Amino acid sequence: MAPLFQLSALLTLCVSFVRAQTTVTVQAGTTFQTMDGFGFSEAFGHANDLFNYPAAEQKQVLDLLFNVTTGAGMTIIRNRIGSGGAGDSILPTSPGCPTCTPTYVWDGSDGHQVWFSQQAMAYGVKTIYADAWSAPGFMKTNGVETNGGTLCGVTGATCASGDWKQAYANFLTQYIKFYQQSNVTITHVGFLNEPEFSPTYSSMNSNGQQAADFIKVLSPTLAAAGLNTKITCCDSEGWSNQITMTNAISAAGALNLLGVVTSHAYSSPVSGTINTPTNVWETEYADLSDPLLPNNWFSNGAAGEGFTWANQIFDGIVNSRLSAYLYWIGAEPGTTNSALILTNGTTVTPSKRLWAFAQFSRYIRPGAVRLGTSGSGANLKFSAFKNSDGSVSVQVLNNNAAAAAINVVTSGFTATSVQAFVSAQGTDLAALPATLSGGIASASVPAHGMVTFVLNGAPGSGSSTTTVGSSSTGSTTTTVSTTVITTVSTPTSSPTGCLSAEWGQCAGIGWTGCTGCAAGTACQFVNDWYSQCLP
């Protein structure tokens, strides 16, 4: 608050209205989690839908989803490992007993999910997550692949037919091998989906102990097959159940066998952190019921709006240490917000949520490391990442009803060029004018808008290196750098001779306030509209 008091003496000379200019400092030496990416699924027939679109529409949809210069630049896909009958599962018929020889059936297509994976790979996608919603029905206590039921052989699930843990591990391993035949490398495999839920489609129940029992079988089975596919668990319906399951898996001594902890956000939102040394992904969430139209970026913060999703993705990454954020469906013929893109005949309608994902996914590439930031402003959110190509991307979300002038300062990195990209109501990821002066990038972030700054440059001095532990979210000490600037709205007598305080404005188009700077600071050009008293 000190600058306010320093300025108070000047108010009689200079005040007419007050406008905030906010500076965020990126701490390149303070690092948090490594990012795996952003994505979605085309499960339950939607890969097949996409395959059957007319060629022009198919290309349009694939570009919108994956193209890093014209679309969202998504980097993860989530396929479904079928567990039903012929045409869905690779083991539609029981071999008769857990140790009997299974007869696998492979059509090379898997409902065109093989083709879909290859399309994604053509855009550079490397992270292919295959998830089973259930084991085949004959491996479960209820004998069917639907309506929940539990894998026979895990704690508390005894079946007359025997213990099917190894058979289920063999089934998943074989599925990965079939994809290898098409040169599709499944990098992550899951064996549960919403294990606390028993719907009338593919589903299987599990608690954390039961999941751990199976992980201890799956892990050595994959290794024996020469696969380094990472095991995920548990795609819980909600975050709070995933916390409970992760703690139980840890207590059962199987957390070290997992590659990634995964959760959905339906029955309980992403909130706080999950205690695990692994990366954490949010692997499925969507507004399942509201209609796409009127398809707003921001009108009132409704569940399907673009800016609602920009905030959700941001909060998940910064406050809950997510390394990946996946929507539910990418593209589907439909009318609700369950997908990022809706199709109807040859009409393709990208939702504003797609551009929210794009604001992150295009500029936070797999392997990017989250950096610390300091600086805050009312209803403003900041995050920063260092990509493996050396670029730094900075996200600014403005939850105010007025535009915010933002300066981005870097510590431990010297920016030599800046680009900025904006989404707001009426603007779908457009280039935004931004300036770079004295290493400070500046742009105006529109009301209820998101801007991503992309800085190229080189490592710089001025920052020690701090790696923040895996369970920390980065709620580090925040330095408030907001500066209150006095601005005269109507021309008055020129306040010649008055001094702006440190961080205050001292020149710019339309500026009629103080043009001098307080002792120890100098007026530095930031952009045509703004110069600032900097120490």
Ligand X SMILES: *[C@@H]1O[C@H](CO)[C@@H](O)[C@H](O)[C@H]1NC(C)=O
* Contact positions with ligand X (CB under 6 A) in 155-194: 182-183
Q: Which region, judged by CB under 6 A, interacts with ligand X, from 67-75, 76-84, 155-163, 383-391?
A: 67-75
Using alpha carbons, select from 327, 248, 241, 249 the residue that is nearest to residue 281.
Answer: 327
* Contact positions with ligand X (CB under 6 A) in 339-398: 344-345
CB of 59: closest distance to ligand X in angstroms?
Answer: 8
Which x/- pattern, by CB under 6 A, does the window 328-347 give for ligand X?
A: -------x--------xx--
CB of 357: closest distance to ligand X in angstroms?
Answer: 16
Instruction: Give one word for 24, left, alpha or beta, with left for phi > 0 and alpha for psi -120 to 50.
Output: beta
Residues of the chain by 3-state class (helix, strand, coil), percent to 5 = 20, 35, 45
CB of 62: closest distance to ligand X in angstroms?
Answer: 8
CB of 342: closest distance to ligand X in angstroms?
Answer: 8
CB of 295: closest distance to ligand X in angstroms?
Answer: 11
The residue count for binding ligand X (CB under 6 A) is: 10
Closer residue to ligand X, CB minimum distance, 95 or 333 = 333
Which residues partner with 113 through β-bridges?
none
User: Dihedral (C-alpha) 71, 372, 266, 88: value to the nearest 10 degrees?
Assistant: 50
Closer residue to ligand X, CB minimum distance, 128 or 257 = 128
266 vs 55: CA distance, rounded Å: 34
Which two tokens mark 509? 């188009």
CB of 218: closest distance to ligand X in angstroms?
Answer: 26
Closer residue to ligand X, CB minimum distance, 93 or 180 = 180
CB of 395: closest distance to ligand X in angstroms?
Answer: 23
Q: Which region, judged by CB under 6 A, interacts with ligand X, from 65-73, 169-177, 294-302, 518-526?
A: 65-73
Phi, psi of 213 (to 5 degrees): -55, -40
Using alpha carbons, select from 98, 94, 110 the residue that is nearest to residue 51.
Answer: 110
Determine if 431 is a binding residue for ligand X (CB under 6 A).
no
Which two tokens mark 271? 């909130």
Would you say 352 and 297 are in contact if contact means Cβ atoms under 8 Å apart?
yes
Q: Which region, judged by CB under 6 A, interacts with ligand X, from 64-72, 95-103, 413-421, 478-486?
A: 64-72
* DSSP-based three-state secondary structure for 426: coil
C-alpha separations of 182 from 59, 80, 122, 185 in Å: 21, 17, 13, 9
Q: Which region, judged by CB under 6 A, interacts with ligand X, from 61-69, 356-364, 430-438, 504-512?
A: 61-69
CB of 118: closest distance to ligand X in angstroms?
Answer: 8
User: Dihedral (C-alpha) 422, 423, 426, 428: value to the nearest 10 degrees?
Assistant: 90
115 vs 107: CA distance, rounded Å: 12
- Among the listed residues 69, 200, 475, 490, the single contact to ligand X using CB under 6 A: 69
Closer residue to ligand X, CB minimum distance, 115 or 171 = 115
HSE toward the beta carbon, residue 266, CA cutoff 13 A: 19
* Contact positions with ligand X (CB under 6 A) in 452-471: none
Closer residue to ligand X, CB minimum distance, 245 or 286 = 286
Which two tokens mark 307? 């800016």
- Among the listed residues 8, 52, 56, 70, the single contact to ligand X using CB under 6 A: 70
Would you say 531 and 513 are in contact if contact means Cβ atoms under 8 Å apart?
no
* Contact positions with ligand X (CB under 6 A) in 107-146: 123
CB of 333: closest distance to ligand X in angstroms?
Answer: 9
Give ∠ CA 459-127-189 in degrees, rounded to 5: 135
CB of 68: closest distance to ligand X in angstroms?
Answer: 7
Backbone Cα Rg of the chain: 26
Would you say 471 and 273 are in contact if contact means Cβ atoms under 8 Å apart?
yes
- The H-assigned helical ranges of 339-476 are 352-361
Which x/- pattern, by CB under 6 A, does the window 10-49 give for ligand X?
A: ----------------------------------------
Q: Which region, judged by CB under 6 A, interacts with ligand X, from 66-74, 203-211, 299-307, 398-406?
A: 66-74
Contact set with ligand X (CB under 6 A): 63, 67, 69-70, 123, 182-183, 335, 344-345
